[in-house]
């Protein structure tokens, strides 16, 4: 596809989309849609717009109705800077009803006045190529003075007449990019969308998103999470001993991907092993600065796999450890994550935000 045409389309689309008069951080109605992907996983895609004059961390709340049962799914996104978009794609493997209805989408946010944009930019030149199968290959460069880590690139995907059809992110793991360095990346739309793709737009740089899951281990809830640019996972559960965790891994894309699971430490001496379809695979086990375990391995293209992770031990206290929430998490039910004290925090936050807005207006008037 002609690169100049892509660049013109990007500029027109990102500059002409209207803002809402009643909401300053919101998802436009023409940039939210749902579909069941090529592996029959319910998928919600959209883009949050920040028309505030300061950066925010937005949280998207999806109000779903599945055969009369109403559920709220939420995802906290990477920082959206002023007058910028942050695209999102939420896959929900537990939704099985093809008649599920997305009744409403709301957004709340936390202001981040001290946040600064990285120096990473997308390279708009003739190396940006859209291929016959709909995927994009391009480059980013670090024009800043600092090394950036764990880089994610998001974009909206558009069809004929500028119609919004999907959201994509880079499939490669970009651990770091040094100042002046150029790194190649690729983006793939979902296979069932590929023949509709005309161009990619509104590129955004952000942190990786992590998806929380849970399973019952020896009668108690065990929380963990994962990060993957393409795959999604459905929990089957622990075995009776609590030593092995079984999951179903689903990669809808025709390219290999990876996953990194994060587990809280039980004894601190865990030694894991990983089976995919009952065969041992290579993996990397590491521990982060918070003491949490990370188990990372590759997932084959267009695959649905039975995954078993073994090596979980018993806790010395009998209590399940707690993972601290991070930005980019998907909450599968708000009632699981909003205890009573959150009401107090919310009231205080509203008051502080009102004071902040009042002071801002006074400064502008002066």
Asked whether 107 and 161 are in contact (CB, 8 A), the reply is no
CATH of the domain at 280: 2.60.40
- Residue 365: pLDDT above 60? no
164 and 287 co-located in one domain: no
Q: Is 304 exposed, middle or buried (0-12, 13-18, 19+ CB in 10 A)?
A: middle
Query: How many structural domains are present in the chain?
Result: 3
Q: Would you state the pLDDT for residue 233?
A: 95
pLDDT in tens, 145-157: 999 998 999 999 9
Please indicate, yes or no, whether residues 72 and 18 belong to a single structural domain of this protein.
yes
Question: pLDDT by residue (tens digit) across 56-107?
Answer: 999 999 999 998 999 999 888 999 999 999 999 999 988 988 999 999 999 9
Task: Identify whether residues 200 and 221 lie together within a single domain.
Answer: no
Task: Look at residues 206, 233, 266 and tell me which one is the last residue of a structural domain.
Answer: 206
* 176-198 mean pLDDT: 95
Are 184 and 277 within one domain? no
Range of the domain at 361: 335-366
The answer, yes or no, to whether residue 176 has pLDDT greater than 50, is yes
Q: What share of the chain has pLDDT > 70, as a percent?
A: 80
pLDDT of residue 358: 46
Residue 185 has a pLDDT of 96
Concatenating the DSSP letter of every residue in 22-44 gives S-SEE--GGGEEEEE-TT--EEE
Strand partners, 248: 234, 306
Say whether both 236 and 178 belong to one domain. Answer: no
- pLDDT 10s digits, 225-249: 999 988 999 999 999 999 999 999 9
Q: Are residues 349 and 297 in the same domain?
A: no
134/241 same-domain check: no
Residues 149 and 26 in one domain: yes
Domain shared by 326 and 350, yes or no: no
Query: Which of 189, 206, 223 represents a domain boundary (last residue)?
Result: 206
Q: Are residues 55 and 91 in the same domain?
A: yes
Residues 216 and 267 in one domain: yes
Alpha carbon separation from 187 to 41, 71, 104 (Å, rounded): 19, 31, 28
Work out the angle at residue 263's Cα, subtended by the Cα atoms of residues 260 and 268, and round it to the nearest 5 degrees: 125
pLDDT digits (tens, 9 = 90+) for 14-56: 444 433 334 489 999 989 999 999 999 999 999 999 999 999 9
Report which secondary-structure segment, H or E, holds 341.
helix 341-365
Contact 49, 19 (CB under 8 A): yes
Query: Residue 280: pLDDT band by 50, 70, 90 thresholds?
Result: very high
The mean pLDDT value for 350-356 works out to: 43
Residue-by-residue DSSP string for 286-311: EE-TTS-EEEEEEE-TTEEEEEEEE-
pLDDT category, 315, cuts 50, 70, 90? low
Where is the domain boundary, 178, 206, 234?
Answer: 206
- State in Å, rounded, how far the first CA of the chain is from the last one: 51
Residues contacting 327, CB < 8 A, separation 6+: 57, 76, 77, 78, 79, 207
Confidence at residue 21, expressed as pLDDT on a 0 to 100 scale? 37
Whether 128 shows a pLDDT value over 90: the answer reads yes
**Is residue 12 pLDDT above 90, yes or no?**
no
pLDDT of the residue at 248: 96
Task: Say what the pLDDT of residue 354 is.
Answer: 46
Across the chain, mean pLDDT equals 83
Give yes or no: residues 52 and 161 share one domain.
Answer: yes
């Amino acid at each position: 596809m002609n690169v100049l045409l892509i660049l013109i389309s990007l500029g027109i689309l990102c500059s002409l989309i209207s803002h809402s008069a009643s909401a300053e951080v919101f998802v436009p109605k023409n940039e939210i849609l749902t579909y069941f992907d090529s592996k029959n996983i319910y998928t919600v895609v959209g883009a949050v717009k920040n028309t505030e004059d300061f950066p925010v961390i937005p949280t998207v709340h999806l109000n779903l109705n599945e055969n009369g049962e109403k559920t709220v799914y939420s995802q906290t996104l990477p920082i959206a800077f002023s007058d910028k978009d942050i695209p999102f794609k939420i896959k929900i493997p537990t939704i099985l009803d093809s008649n599920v209805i997305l009744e409403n989408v709301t957004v709340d946010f936390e202001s981040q006045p001290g946040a600064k944009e990285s120096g990473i930019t997308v390279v708009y030149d003739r190396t940006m190529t859209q291929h016959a199968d709909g995927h994009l290959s391009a480059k980013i460069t670090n024009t800043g003075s600092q090394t950036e880590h764990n880089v994610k690139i998001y974009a909206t995907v558009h069809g004929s007449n500028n119609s919004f059809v999907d959201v994509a992110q880079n499939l490669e793991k970009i651990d770091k990019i040094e100042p002046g360095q150029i790194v190649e990346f690729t983006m793939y739309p979902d296979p069932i969308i590929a023949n509709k793709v005309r161009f990619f737009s509104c590129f955004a740089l952000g942190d990786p998103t992590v998806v929380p899951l849970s399973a019952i281990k020896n009668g108690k809830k065990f929380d963990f999470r994962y990060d993957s640019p393409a795959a999604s996972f459905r929990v089957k559960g622990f075995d009776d001993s609590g030593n092995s965790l079984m999951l179903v891994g689903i990669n809808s894309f025709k390219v290999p991907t990876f996953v990194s699971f994060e587990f809280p430490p039980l004894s601190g001496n865990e030694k894991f092993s990983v089976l995919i379809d009952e065969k041992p695979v290579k993996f990397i086990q590491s521990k982060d600065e918070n003491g949490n375990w990370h188990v990372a391995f590759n997932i084959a293209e267009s695959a649905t796999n039975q995954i078993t992770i073994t090596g979980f031990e018993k806790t010395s206290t009998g209590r399940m450890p707690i993972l601290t929430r991070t930005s980019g998490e998907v909450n599968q039910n708000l009632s699981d994550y909003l205890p009573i004290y959150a009401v107090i925090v919310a009231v205080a936050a509203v008051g502080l935000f009102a004071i902040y807005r009042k002071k801002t207006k006074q400064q502008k008037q002066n």
